[in-house]
Amino acid sequence: MISGLNVGTHFRKLLRGVLPPLALIAITLLPLLFGGLFVWSYWDPLGNLNKIPVALVNSDEGAKGPDGQEVRAGDQVTKELLKVEPMNFVEVSAQDAIEGIGNGTYYLGVEIPKNFSEAAVSVNSDDPHPAKINVTLNNTNGFIPTMLGNQVTRVMTSVISGTVGEQISRQMFMGFNTIGDGMNQAGEGADKLHDGTGKARDGSQRLDDGANKLNDGVQDAVQKVPDLVDGVTQLDDGAHQLNNGAQRLNDGLGQASDGADKLADGLGRLRDGTNELGAGAAAIAEGVDRVTSVGDQIAGLQDAYNQINGALDRAIEDLERVGGPAARDLVAQARQAQEAAGIPVNPEARQMIDTALDPATITQLRALKDGAFRLSDELNNPAAQFLGGINAAADGAQSLSNALHLLHDGSGELLTGTSQLSDGTSRLVVGVRTLSEGSNVLSDGTQQLVAGMDELNSGLVQLDDGSGELALKLNEGADQVPRFDGKKLDSASSVASSPVRLENAGDDVSLFGVGLSPFFLSLSLWFGGLIMFMVFNPISRRAIDSGVSPLRVVLSSWIPAAALGVIQAFHLWWMQNLVLGVNAEHPVQMFFALAYVAIIFVTAILAIYAIFGPSTGRLITMILMSLQLVASNGLYPPEVQPKFIQWVHSWDPMRFSVDLMRHVLFGTAPGDHRVTVALTVLTSVGVVSFLIAMAGFWKERVVVDKHIHPELEV
């Protein structure tokens, strides 16, 4: 029983020296690489997604909402995403986003397109359609980050849909609010309508009362209709008498018109005679004027004649007083001389001459002259009273004749009118008699009916106003109600249920196995190198002890190991492409990339063995494999891992092999320089590892005690 508890000597050797106890401790701690390091490295990657950089591009141009207000849904979504931070959103331009996603600065990109706001408010339009979010993925940035980013973008839709849904709900409920306002106003109109109908009801009651009174009034009117018939009959008689009088007036005016025509003719002839009389009066006036002129001359001679005649008369008287024959002879001779001179000797003749030459006669002659001229003026001057009166009388007679003709014509029309009036009154008599016969059929109470109708009309006016306002507001409210039918209904329902939809503008999310292939390929090549040097010892003591150069020593182990690595790469290539159907973007480049990475990893592991020896080298290789596994960005992005792992990621060779594998599997975006960086770093690792291996094998030339009695053999 006690012997069963003995510890073997090969285990007791682990307790001696320095390296064996350390190896024992490493063996006990080795499970922590997976049970501790892996768990710690992937402790909460989803909780740290807000550290993954994502390009956010806001290209939204805004839109006009139904209320005319500017809607900037893109700005609201951007603000909300930057505040919530489901990922580390960095707002950049579209060009910066393309370049950043291509070169790995950003794991993915989210773009809010130009028509985002227009789509957000399209639910009330003729073409409702959902708002889209463009998501650009790049598989060369890693499968897990791409997958997580894709999932996060779907979670983002809840945030975005909340913002956009608020806009959509606002647009929809604005219409319902408008309906509510319209309905409120419609309610006020309905109240007015109710008041109006109440007044109309009261008015109709009064109308009924008035109808009763109207019946009484009609009965009174029926009793007075006979008086109306008598009055209308008298009116008809008067109309006939008026017609007869108009007939007589027409006849009298005809006679008066004929007399006026004759008067006008007589006055015309009188005016013509007056003109002739005026001509004679003018001649008389001219003759009288000449007579008056001669009379004035005779009057001058009369004085001389009287003096001479007086002297002769005195001489004759003196001779007669003398007496005697001689005196008588002288008297006789004187008498003869007077007679010869035309001096009347007869007293009667002289009396007549004296009378003719008397001043009074001359004065009368002059008065006759003045009268003749006045008569001529009255008869010839149109402005004179007489001739003007004659002309006015003639013109007036003509006007009278014309007026009487017009009056006669008017009396004819009057006669026609009175005839029509007479006929009308005759028909009126017939109508009144018919009224008398039909008055018993009249409806009740027109007078009170009018009074009641006034109030009824007032109430109906209010009823009309209220109903009109009710109809108007209801129509306005109805216009604001969204109407959906057919395809528009389906589209609006789809938009309301899912206002925001993702649209992938880049790579699609690959299958899980395909997405993790770059990581597993890199891990398998490192693991292949580790197993390779477990099978055969990379350190050839014979080559070292032979004294050849370190280069030849390294090449003696490196060439077969590299060849085996290329064979491993070939097996991985045909398994991926021919069996699993990964469908690499660059299948030929994939083989060369696998072979190249295999050679680099073999060289690196060889350097570790050359420096630390086979036993310690294997342990370090396994530790490095574990570190590279968690820090290579093959599974989760380093941003979601602890700081130490992020530091390891900065120099991890497997990180660059993963980038190279992603390039040959998924392609490279324009501007992505990670392939060049990966080739440069891996080449540098290979060259440095080869030099380190040479230095390690050169150091092995010196044989020390550990070579003869190693503390630890594996």
pLDDT at 32 over 50: no
- Comparing C-alpha atoms, which of 605, 617, 587 is closest to residue 685? 605
**Which of 1.10.287, 2.60.120, 2.40.128, 3.30.420 would CATH assign to domain 217-407?**
1.10.287
Q: The dihedral of CA 43, 46, 50, 52: what is its sign?
A: positive
What pLDDT digit, counting tens, does each position of 617-673 carry? Answer: 888 888 888 788 777 776 667 777 788 888 887 888 888 888 888 888 888 777 778
pLDDT at 8 over 50: no
What pLDDT digit, counting tens, does each position of 450-476 carry? Answer: 566 666 666 656 666 666 666 566 566
Q: Which residues pair with 318 in a beta bridge?
A: none
Give one word for 406, left, alpha or beta, with left for phi > 0 and alpha for psi -120 to 50: alpha
pLDDT at 684 over 90: yes
- Mean pLDDT score of the chain, rounded to an integer? 70
Task: Evaluate whether 138 touches 669 at the Cβ level (below 8 Å).
Answer: yes
Q: The dihedral of CA 618, 619, 622, 623: what is its sign?
A: negative
What pLDDT digit, counting tens, does each position of 117-159 carry? Answer: 787 777 666 677 777 778 777 666 655 566 666 665 665 666 6
Containing 263, the helix (H) or strand (E) segment is helix 143-322
Task: Evaluate whether 275 touches 413 at the Cβ level (below 8 Å).
Answer: no
Task: Evaluate whether 415 touches 246 at the Cβ level (below 8 Å).
Answer: yes
pLDDT at 540 over 50: yes
Task: Evaluate whether 401 touches 257 at the Cβ level (below 8 Å).
Answer: yes
Task: Evaluate whether 141 touches 108 at the Cβ level (below 8 Å).
Answer: yes
d(CA 564, CA 568): 6
Number of H helices, E strands in the chain: 22, 7
d(CA 338, CA 335): 5
- Comparing C-alpha atoms, which of 490, 666, 691 is closest to residue 604? 691
Cβ atoms within 10 Å of 310's Cβ, excluding its own: 10
pLDDT at 498 over 80: no
pLDDT at 11 over 50: no
What pLDDT digit, counting tens, does each position of 212-261 carry? Answer: 676 666 667 667 667 776 777 777 777 778 777 777 777 777 777 777 77
- Comparing C-alpha atoms, which of 679, 528, 513 is closest to residue 592? 679
Q: What is the pLDDT of residue 603?
A: 93
Angle separating helix axes 587-631 and 19-29, nearest 10 degrees = 100
- CATH 1.10.287: which residues of the chain? 217-407
Angle separating helix axes 674-699 and 550-574, nearest 10 degrees = 140
pLDDT band at 591 (very low <50, low <70, confident <90, very high): very high
The rounded percent of the chain whose pLDDT value lies above 90 is 4
pLDDT band at 176 (very low <50, low <70, confident <90, very high): very low
Q: What is the pLDDT of residue 588?
A: 92
Task: Evaluate whether 243 touches 423 at the Cβ level (below 8 Å).
Answer: no
Q: What is the pLDDT of residue 2?
A: 43
What pLDDT digit, counting tens, does each position of 343-397 carry? Answer: 554 566 556 656 655 666 667 666 766 776 666 676 677 776 766 777 777 777 7
d(CA 406, CA 399): 10
pLDDT at 674 over 80: yes
Q: Which residues pair with 502 in a beta bridge?
A: 133
pLDDT band at 3 (very low <50, low <70, confident <90, very high): very low
What pLDDT digit, counting tens, does each position of 52-74 carry? Answer: 788 888 888 877 776 677 778 77
The rounded percent of the chain whose pLDDT value lies above 70 is 50
Burial of 90 (0-12, 13-18, 19+ CB in 10 A): middle
Q: What is the pLDDT of residue 567?
A: 87
Q: What is the pLDDT of residue 7?
A: 35
Q: What is the pLDDT of residue 4?
A: 37
Largest CA-CA distance found in the chain, in angstroms, rounded: 260
Q: What's the mean pLDDT in 196-219?
A: 65
Q: Which amino acid is at 467?
A: S
d(CA 106, CA 510): 18
d(CA 332, CA 350): 18
Classified as helix, coil or strand, 503 is strand
